[in-house]
Copies of this chain bind each other. A is one copy, B any other.
Amino acid sequence: MSKDVRRIPDATIARLPRYHRALLELVATKASTVSSDELADLAGFNAAKVRKDLSYLGTYGTRGVGYDVDNLRRQIGRELGLTESWPVVIVGIGNLGRALATYSGFATRGFRIAALLDADPSKAGSPVGSLAVRPTSELVAIVEAEQVAIGIIATPGAAAQDVADQLVAAGVKSILNFSPAVLSVPDGVAVRGVDLAVELQVLSYYQHHRDDLVVSA
């Protein structure tokens, strides 16, 4: 009895945030409508992809005119679940954790930092931005009290799996992992990893093979 479960391709979902951000910029300008071509430019893709991606969400464009900036932004936001800001916890308040805690982009793009946690008791109480660092033992209470669904891991790799287990036990269903460790979590918990060194190594590959690529014919 499930209606038509509109299945949006993963590749499209990964691009929606970029559209969303581009539209936020457009809102700031006077622009009230935008064409797939312009949006492609702003988001860094091509027009055909933009149209196909947006078509999965529904028919929000007007032929001959383009897309209504404000409406489209709202639709994408709704699809991404950004209608109200998600509370997130950051675990591991080293240099990276501190940087994430003070990153303004989270607040402006749909997220609210509910708490900063660190296993090191000597860090507890010290302020980072407007929040104080709290001991990891308070995790369960915080997650429950604030209905936290997303956790960010910014610990060293060695501690990451342990923290992940605690997050899962506390009821967190989505994890963003900045440590280089590969996490194993039960079904139903989503994990996304960002490994800073991995990104550099990929660049290193293309840098290293630049000349190969030019060779042809």
Contact = CB atoms under 8 A, between A and B. Distances in A.
Interface of A: 2, 5, 13-14, 16-18, 20-22, 42-44, 79-82, 86, 88, 94-96, 98-100, 102-103, 105-106, 108-111, 149-150, 152, 173-176, 180, 182, 188, 190, 192-210, 212, 215-217
A21 B88 CA distance: 28
Contacts of A203: 150, 174-176, 190, 192
Contacts of A212: 5
- In order of increasing CB-CB distance, the 6 nearest A-B pairs are A81-B208, A99-B99, A17-B201, A95-B99, A44-B182, A17-B198
A196 B110 CA distance: 12
A194 B99 CA distance: 15
Given A99-B96, A197-B105, A199-B192, A204 B110 contact: yes
B208 A202 contact: no
A217 B1 CA distance: 8
Number of copies: 2
Max chain B C-beta neighbours (<10 A), residue from A100, A102, A201, A215: A201
B95 A202 contact: no
A101 to B, nearest CB: 8
Contacts of A201: 16-17, 20, 80, 82, 109-110
Contacts of A188: 210
B42 A182 contact: yes
17 contacts: A2-B217, A14-B202, A16-B205, A18-B182, A22-B182, A81-B209, A96-B99, A106-B196, A150-B204, A173-B207, A173-B210, A175-B203, A176-B200, A190-B206, A190-B207, A192-B199, A192-B202
